[in-house]
Structure 1
Amino acid sequence: MAARGHVQDPNDRRLRPIYDYLDNGNNKMAIQQAEKLLKKHRDLHCAKVLKAIGFQRTGKQEEAFVLAQEVAALEPTDDNSLQALTILYREMHRPELVTKLYEAAVRKVPSSEEYHSHLFMAYARVGEYKKMQQAGMALYKIVPKNPYYFWSVMSLIMQSISAQDEKLSKTMFLPLAERMVEKMVKEDKIEAEAEVELYYMILERLGKYEEALEVIRGKLGEKLTSELQSRENKCMAMYKKLSRWPECNALSKRLLLLNSDDWQFYLSYFDSVFHLIDDSWTPPTEGPMSLEGNLDYTIEEAVRFIEHQIEADSKNPRPLRGPYLAKLELIRRLRHRGCNDEYKLGEPEDLMYQYFLKFGDKPCCFTDLKVFVDLLSSSQHSSFINRLLGSLPLTPPAEGSVALPADIKAMQRHLCVVQLSRLLGLSHKMEKVQKQEAIREVIVRYRHGLQFGKSCLKTELQFSDYYCLIGAHMLLDLWNQGEDWAVWQCLALLEEGLSNSPSNAQFKLLLIRIYCTLGAFEPATDLYSSLDAKHIQHDTIG
């Protein structure tokens, strides 16, 4: 609750038992201990605040607030009282009172770096951006460190973001922030990567893309090292904003030659190629083709580049997905332009089949291919799925049984085919009897697949969970068609799945939806609680 590493101050020693009671949740004992201490030491303000925290945690909010205000009125400057009041106000959801607390502390001890920084953070919590700016500059005057100066710059950016008048934002706040950073650049005082990021952010928001590009390509850009290819990504973003497609293409190509699996650069490469074609771009007669080197500006060159990427990958002992998916993406873009056939890139069905043979045992195979299934005509759907099924390494079935996989990789391949089949709508075209047989089969496959996950922890998902999920959705299809028995079988299947894989959020969400539809809200509430959705949300936002 409070830092108590080396207890030297006698007051710290006296307060320690109260801290321990509060930390252990023994709030009543904390109150009693605080009262005993206050009888002996009436001027020990921190004890009174700790007593208030005890009141707050036992539901006596009014008494807690009265005690806190008594101490706050004395404008304390000792660390213990200030930290304890900060904790109390946070628990009361009154962060604005923390600002008043540290404003008073700063007035009394104007040279304290710690109190100034606490004041800045208190303003940040309540969104007082103007005061944040002033507190940042006041702190920089006391302790001239770069971070404090840039706290003030960031406060100006926040004022520009929150300003209702966009004109005011672009004529006052952002230009002032730009001048402040330029001053540090001229004095050669830029030290950290975050400071360069801030400068880039200001220029980008001002629409000064050329200047932002110069910063990234120049000496300051060398500081951008914490993220992989951070500098290149920012350059690419500026090239796109400035419609400098030659540089965009050349940079994408260069980065793809270094890493042929980086999908974002394939998209930039294709975007820039087709912009260059639409603009009828031709290379200059003298000098380099662009600032970033040579580039491709025709469809023929783009086709050759992708074929070269695939050929280079074929020699790789560990094949990469990017080049093969890039070929499908190029076919899609050429089809939109009505000029695919003349470049002989191959049939999408064949390419997707070859892709499945290479990567079908990876869970990502389905999500990769589902983006491109629209390249198949409706007449090709059944033949494509049958072709995939024919390539599966399944053990021959006994009479009346199902052909089952011998290992996880074989099961993953079959699971990918089942998912693609449902995506293409083949399960929706089945007759009722066929669908019931298909449901029986996926349940058998689900239960068989559990043997591959015997060593999984409770927090891990079972390898065959998707069979259970697909079976549940097929049962819901039957329920929607008027088969009431199907919903009960679906609930039983999902509950079975949840018992084997307690951390599967998809099972829980589907169960919540079904229970709510049926009007059974109690199990739905328990399931929602077990999702820990609040914690997931906080972690994600954080």
Structure 2
Amino acid sequence: MAARGHVQDHNDRRLRPIYDYLDNGNNKMAIQQADKLLKKHKDLHCAKVLKAIGLQRTGKQDEAFTLAQEVAILEPTDDNSLQALTILYREMHRPELVTKLYEAAVKKVPLSEEYHSHLFMAYARVGEYKKMQQAGMALYKIVPKNPYYFWSVMSLVMQAISAQDEKLSQTMFLPLAERMVEKMVKEEKIEAEAEVQLYFMILERLGKYVEALELIRGPLGEKLTSELQSRENKCMMLYQRLQRWPESNALAHKLLIKNPDDWQFYPAYFDSLFHLIDQSWSPPEEGEHCPEGVVHHTISEVIRFVEERIRDEDDKHSRILRGPYLARLELIKRLRERGCSEASLLGDPMELMVQFFEKFGDKPCCITNLKLYLHLLPAEQHHQLINRLSESVPLGEATNGGFSFPDDTDALQRHLCVHQLSRALGLQHALSTDQKLRLIEELKAHYRHGLKFGENALKTELQFSDMYCLMAAHVYVDLWTDTGDEGMVWQALGILQEGLSNSPSNAQFKLLLLLLYCRLGAFEPCQKPKISTNIYCTSSMLTLIKSSSKVEYFI
């Protein structure tokens, strides 16, 4: 053994220069060095494989494959040759050949943990799930470690997921995986969080939500620590699937007290309320409402809870959270959909939106938040809302062009949000041609003025005023659609190219340019590096290009 290790070390020293040449991209020198070594040591298989890698990288794929097969036929078992062949086959996009390598290696060295694990991973790359299961169990028998056992279990789950016959998944693969995990549970051998996650996945796919809930709430659920509120999130999902609305409501209530900005629990809180109302649910006269605690089963309780969260935010001197303010608008929307008169108790939606804008208008998310609730406003309030919001935007004195510009990025974001809301409400579409041209001049002026805030920005960063440029392009497209004047689309292309020169990484500019060039039949510009970088023309995008007359990405 000592002699064998000495030979291995000596071979490593001989191969080191070839590895260095390959790592540095000097493939020709790697081939030459391999040839020199092979003249002296014809049986040094790894040198032959490294030469094949050099040939592959210089475009001589056929020679490389022939050379590699000469070594593969010998069924090598040394690590250097196996790893080099794995690299070569990966670069040739032939992962199926790696499995044959390690199948042969495992036959020759049946007790090697390393070769068995490499074989398992090779099967995983080609999606051979049944063979993965067998390889995992064979490895577990050699080295009885939990991860290897659960590799086999996961292989069964993958067979269930990939099976075309759903009945086969539910009656064979998943039940077998469940029994394998239950065996480890009974023997108290569950060690890692990933093992609990896998058990939960199996129970969920089998539709055993009660058992999954017991797992999460039991001692094994305490291992779920890698994600914040992992146990609570899973419990909430299971309560909803089991239609346990009291528990869902109480849990959401507790979690929202702890973190009133966690939006995922507000829909669950409101959904459970209306399910409880529809079922005429009432709490028991004695004891707790449910295992999760107090249940809010009336509209008045929920309104009071939301308003308490808002008062807590109003009283804060630190960073204010958006969640409670949006929850109030969401509750108004849901109450109106059900025709509940209590919606008026929460206030006038327009006033609430104005208040929200005053608090959060300097954040880019303000438009996406308010856009969801614009339908709560009657048409006659649309102009009124925009006027109210415009009055609260701090702008400097008017210039010679008649435009007033923001003095900082917060004011810029507020002004931008007002324009985006105006477009979302359809007010820009209702303008006359002259008014649209005037709006374009204003947007372009604001865009160019806002570039000063990003003078030191990196090429990978977006300019603060990019949205003005994008909106101006969309108004040009509106004019093109309305009037048929192709000059408008050329103007849109011009402003977008200007925007792209200042923000080379802006994907929205690139997408709109691709769309417009394709609609004009000018396909050559679409392939230019500035436009096509990191933009992949998928089938859905081709459909968009063929069918869309107007696509708005900026809202």
TM-score over 0.5 (shorter chain): yes
User: Distance between the aligned counterparts of 1:471 and 1:535, measured in 2?
Assistant: 25
Query: Could you give the per-residue CA deviations for residues 377-427 of structure 1, whole angstroms, max 9, x where no partner exists?
Result: 122111111111112111231465211111111111110000000111111
Distance across 2 between alignment mates of 1:453 and 1:276: 52
C-alpha contact 1:512 1:527 (8 A) present in aligned 2: no
Could you say if the C-alpha distance between residues 363 and 67 of structure 1 is closer, same or farther in structure 2, counting changes exceeding 3 Å?
Answer: same
Following superposition, the deviation at residue 166 of structure 1 comes to 1.2
- 2:484 is aligned, of 482, 485, 496, to 482
**Offset of residue 244 of structure 1:** 0.3
Question: Could you say if the C-alpha distance between residues 280 and 53 of structure 1 is closer, same or farther in structure 2, counting changes exceeding 3 Å?
Answer: same
Give the CA deviation at 1:160: 0.8
What is the aligned counterpart of 1:498 among 489, 497, 500?
A: 500
**How big is each residue's C-alpha offset from its partner over 1:237-293, in whole Å with a ceiling of 9 and x where there is no partner?**
110110000000000000000011110000100010000001111111222101100
2:528 matched to which residue of 1?
A: 526
Mapped partners of 1:519, 1:79: distance in 2 = 55
Residues 341 and 294 of structure 1: is their aligned pair in 2 closer, same or farther, counting only changes over 3 Å? Answer: closer
Instruction: Give distance in 1, aligned partners of 2:11 and 2:343.
Output: 86
- Helix, strand or coil at the partner of 2:284: coil
Q: State the aligned residue count.
A: 531
Query: Does 2:131 correspond to 1:131?
Result: yes
Q: Is the 8 A contact 2:216 2:234 kept in 1?
A: yes
**Cα distance change of structure 1 residues 288 and 341 upon mapping to structure 2, 3 Å threshold:** closer
**Compared CA separation, residues 477 and 529, structure 1 to 2 (3 A):** closer
Change (3 A) 1:106 1:36: same
The aligned amino acid for 1:211 is: E
| Aligned counterpart, 2:187 | 187
Further displaced range: 481-490 or 184-193: 481-490
Q: How does 1:79-228 map to 2 (within 5 A)?
A: 79-228=79-228
1:520 to partner: Cα distance: 2.8
How far apart in 2 are the matches of 1:531 and 1:340? 53
Within 2, Cα distance between the matches of 1:64 and 1:325? 62
Q: Is 2:320 aligned against 1:319?
A: yes
The residue aligned with 1:468 is: 469
User: Aligned partners of 2:287 and 2:333: how far apart in 1?
Assistant: 34
Pair 1:409 & 2:410 matched: yes
In structure 2, do the counterparts of structure 1 residues 107 and 207 end up closer, same or farther at CA, with 3 Å as the change threshold? same
Other-structure match for 1:452: 453
Unaligned runs of 5+ in 1: 1-5, 537-542
3-state secondary structure, aligned to 1:236: helix
In structure 2, relative to structure 1, the CA distance for the partners of 1:534 and 1:117 (3 Å cut) is: farther
* Contact preservation (8 Å) 1:397, 1:403: yes
**What displacement does 1:483 show?**
2.1
Q: How many angstroms does 1:61 deviate by?
A: 2.0
Q: Which is further off, 252-261 or 478-487?
A: 478-487
Q: Which runs of 5+ in 2 are unaligned?
A: 1-5, 539-555
**Identity over the aligned pairs, expressed in percent?**
71
Residue type of the alignment partner of 2:361:
G
Q: Distance in 2 between matches of 1:97 and 1:400?
A: 70
TM-score by length of 1: 0.95
The range that moved more, 256-265 or 183-192, is 183-192
Partner of 1:383: 384
Letter in 2 for 1:104: A
Per-residue Cα deviation, 1:190-234 (whole angstroms, up to 9, x for no partner):
111110000100110111100100000010111111111001000
**Residue in structure 2 matched with residue 40 of structure 1 by the alignment:** 40
Distance 1:430 1:151, change over 3 A: same
Q: Does the CA contact (< 8 Å) of 2:332 and 2:343 recur in 1?
A: no
Distance 1:110 1:210 in 2: 43
Q: CA RMSD in A?
A: 1.8
- Partner SS state of residue 38, structure 2: helix
Q: CA deviation at 1:354?
A: 0.8
Aligned match of 2:547: none
For residues 341-380 of structure 1, the aligned pairs below 5 Å read: 343-380=344-381
Q: Distance in 1 between matches of 2:58 and 2:398?
A: 66
Aligned residue type for 1:441: E
Aligned-residue offset at 1:343 = 4.8
| Aligned-partner Cα distance in 2 for 1:455–1:20 | 39
C-alpha distance after superposition, 1:473-516 (max 9, x if no partner): 11111122222222222222111111211211111111222222
AA at the equivalent of 1:225: T
Partner of 1:248: 248
Task: Tell me, yes or no, if the aligned pair for 1:508 and 1:527 is still in contact at 8 Å.
Answer: no
Code of the residue aligned with 1:89 in structure 2: it is Y
